[in-house]
Amino acid sequence: MSRLHDHPELHVSGRIGWLRAAVLGANDGIVSTASLIVGVAATQPTGNAVIVAGVAALFAGAMSMAAGEYVSVSTQADTERAELAREAAEQVDQPEFEREELVQIYQRRGVDRATAEAVADQMMAQDALGTHARDELGLTHAAAARPLEAALASALTFTAGASAPLLVAWLAPPALVVAAVAMSSIGCLALLGALGAWAGGAPVAPSVMRVTFWGVLAMIVTYGIGHLFGATVA
């Protein structure tokens, strides 16, 4: 029996596409909604202006994230398809040139000429386009662009992220909205950073520090702007 059965490996590269969109969506939901709530609350508004602003931020942000991800990832997918179509045509028109490209790629990786030629011949006989996509273009199935998946992940996670500061703002006394939203959002961002790092198999501490730093900075800036405009109006 092969020793490989005794050495299982868990790789997470297949999660890259949706994980990136999910972390981006949740992070943006928390930061943008919390910052807007803090900024509006700093003006000391009357009535339910803070909640209205938070609800508007949630729906507008979710739609914007979904549309933005779909458009940008669709552009990536179009580029990938065009590259593959171009590569397929070149293999028909210039098969020897394409074979030589593979041979030189393998040689640059440290394989001798004879072995590189043998590997190129065997790989192209099995799956020529897939081999060139992976070894020449760097395109793999695991990292392929998936527009709909990215759009849904971004919209859903943005909504989940934005719901946290909005719920806190709704439950907190008016005098404590800024402090409550800020503290709870920092906690949510730290948790998000930890979960994202864990899901991607990356170190937790740098991820937590990164997301909390930018979240805190955004809330400080919007609070300062809100406080300035509130004081000016008063």
Q: How far is residue 105's CA from residue 124's CA, in Å, rounded to a whole number?
A: 14
Q: Residue 189's pLDDT is what? A: 92
Q: Region 18-38: what's the mean pLDDT?
A: 84
* Alpha carbon distance, N-terminus to C-terminus of the chain: 80
Alpha helices in the chain (DSSP H): 16-42, 49-93, 95-108, 113-135, 147-171, 177-200, 204-233
- Per residue in 128-156, pLDDT tens? 777 777 877 776 666 666 788 888 888 89
- Per residue in 86-111, pLDDT tens? 878 877 788 888 888 778 888 888 88
Q: Dihedral of CA 88/90/95/98: which sign?
A: negative
Question: Hey, what are 115's tokens?
Answer: 């072995």
| Cβ partners under 8 Å of residue 129, min gap 6 | 84, 87, 88, 91
Long-range contacts of 230-234 (CB under 8 A, 24+ apart): 230/42, 230/43, 230/44, 233/43, 234/44
- Per residue in 30-51, pLDDT tens? 999 999 999 999 888 877 889 9
Confidence of residue 10 (pLDDT cuts 50, 70, 90): very low
Q: Dihedral of CA 179/185/189/194: which sign?
A: positive
Whether the Cβ atoms of residue 11 and residue 140 lie closer than 8 Å to each other: no
